[in-house]
Each structure stands twice: as structure tokens, then as C-alpha cells.
Amino acid sequence: MIENSGRPRAVDALVFDAYGTLFDVQSVASTAEALFPGRGAALAQLWRSKQLEYSWLQSLMQSPGQPREDFAAVTAHALSYAAEALALPLPAHARHRLLDAYLHLSPFPDAEPTLAALAPRRRLILSNGTHAMLAPLAAATGLARHFDAILSADDAGVYKPSPRVYQLAVDALDCPPIRIGFVSSNSWDAIGAKAFGFTVFWINRSGAPIDRHGPAPDCMIRSLADLPALLTAA
């Protein structure tokens, strides 16, 4: 049972997922629609779905001699598959525009005021993205000044929801997992973080059902703006 509001939680720091949580990936779908009128939503959806699938599969397939590829490579492979599966021709310029869209996302409108309201607690980003994808995005959107650090799954050599990725935040914050508030719009990420031991806030903007493969997040909220009221005084 997930509490929709419930008692305030005592956390010392907050860790945010990036794609879909702080940054709106809708502009990727808009770029896809501009390139392939009437098929943009299908392309963006299959691309995203394969991007996640490939990140999990590469993590599981790892063996000592076969490290995983980084998220930029996984994202490019997933786009190739999605375009072929939907029989959409993907010349170099279209491919470049679509991949480039991931580097120029907009933050959700409530991201900046929420981050500001959460100070003086420490705030981190923990994402599957590479540092080369995340740092320019955080800088260009102005969100970078609200963060103490940006952590990439690359630092653990595996993707979320591996506990080795969540451990990066514990090591960076030197704080027990239960005192860390983890915030993600991705149900599988929220569940992985809860299994790890964080206090988890699932941002469920679309009213989706919760996944069933692990422990439910502590709180479900509809937007980032609902977050500060759920925390005890810093």
C-alpha cells in the first residue's frame, strides 16, 4: 500500500532521477513527430522502451571481459531498432536531430522551485545517463546550481536498478539509505530504490498503476511540487 500523502518523512538529503523526473522527455517525441508526422509518438515510445530494455539486458549480460556500453550508445542502438521495427527511414540528419533532442530537454516547470524549497538539504542527481549527457543539460537548464553533485551509473559500471548504482549516493552522502529521499517518476527505479533501502517518492504524473516486482515506494505523488510538504523540517 502506497501512501498518497501520509506522515512527513525525515530525510537529510534528496537524490533525483534525471530523465522523466527532472527533465521532460516530451520534446523528444515532438522532434520525432516533426520528422515523422503521425508516427512520432510510436517512435518515441518504442525508442524509450528499448532504451530501458537494453540498459537492463546489458547490465545482466555483463561478464568480466564484456563491460556494458554507456547510455549514449544504448540510446543510439535503441533508436536504430525502433526506426527499423516501425519501418521509418532514418537518414543521418534525422538520427542526429533525435539523439540531439536528449541533450536539450526542458526541466518540468516545478523542478526549479521544488529544488529551491528543499534547500538547505543536500541534493544530488543519480542517473543512468553519462556525465557528458548530464552535466551540460544541468548547466543549460539552470538546475546545476541546486545540486551538490551529479552521479552517473557509469561510476558503478552497471545500470539502475542494480544496488551498486544506488550505493553511489550513499557513498557520496555518507548517510544511511533510510535518511535519503529518492525521487523518480520511473516506477521500476522507485521500486529498485525502495528494495535498496531509500525512502522513496514516486512521481506518478500519469496516474499509472504501480509495478509488482518489488517493494512499493513509500509515497506516491503527482508532481515534484508535492514533495517539500512531505518532508519534516530540514
Choice from 12, 33, 112, 211 touching a copy of itself (CB under 8 A): 211
> Which one from 17, 24, 189, 218 is the annotated catalytic residue?
17
Site string for a copy of itself, 50-89 (x = CB under 8 A): x--xx-xxxxxxxx--x--x----x--xx-xx--xx----
Collect contacts of 224-230 with beta carbons under 8 A, ≥24 apart.
Answer: 224/21, 224/22, 224/108, 224/110, 224/111, 224/114, 224/183, 225/110, 225/113, 225/114, 227/14, 227/114, 227/118, 227/183, 227/201, 228/114, 228/117, 228/118, 229/8, 230/5, 230/6, 230/8, 230/9, 230/201
Collapsed DSSP state (helix, strand, coil) of residue 211? coil
Residue 163: in which H helix or E strand, if any? helix 163-173
Compute the least distance from the CB of residue 93 to a copy of itself, in Å.
20
**Is 17 among the residues known to form the active site?**
yes
Choice from 142, 208, 222, 229 touching a copy of itself (CB under 8 A): 208
Looking at the Cβ atoms of 44 and 227, the one nearer to a copy of itself is 44
Choice from 106, 112, 214, 234 touching a copy of itself (CB under 8 A): 214
Compute the least distance from the CB of residue 69 to a copy of itself, in Å.
8
**Does 4 participate in binding a copy of itself (rule CB under 8 A)?**
no
Which has the closest alpha carbon to 68: 56, 76, 78, 79?
A: 56
Find the binding residues for a copy of itself in span 122-141 (CB under 8 A). Answer: none
Find the binding residues for a copy of itself in span 14-53 (CB under 8 A). Answer: 50, 53
Active site residues: 17
Contact residues toward a copy of itself (CB under 8 A) are 50, 53-54, 56-63, 66, 69, 74, 77-78, 80-81, 84-85, 158-159, 161-163, 188, 191-192, 195-196, 208-209, 211-214
